[in-house]
């Protein structure tokens, strides 16, 4: 169970980083 929570947190963190990166790129190109 703890393993799944760790995995989800890591995945969510990666998604947040990707989202922020994409948002930055969109902001720069806009």
Tell the residue number behind the tokens 């948002």, with chain if given. 23
Following DSSP, what letter does each residue of 8-26 receive, concatenated?
HHHHHHHHHHHHHHHHHHH
Q: Which DSSP category does 30 fall into?
A: -
**Residues 1-30: pLDDT tens digits?**
789 999 999 999 999 999 999 889 888 876
CA–CA–CA angle 6, 9, 19 (5° rounding): 155
What are the residue boundaries of the structural domains of the chain, listed by start? 1-29
Q: Model-level pTM?
A: 0.52
User: What pLDDT, on a 0 to 100 scale, did the predictor assign at position 30?
Assistant: 61
Separation between Cα atoms, residue 9 and residue 29, nearest integer Å: 30
């Amino acid at each position: 169970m703890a393993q799944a929570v760790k995995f989800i947190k890591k995945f969510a963190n990666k998604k947040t980083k990707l989202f922020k990166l994409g948002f930055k790129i969109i902001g720069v190109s806009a």
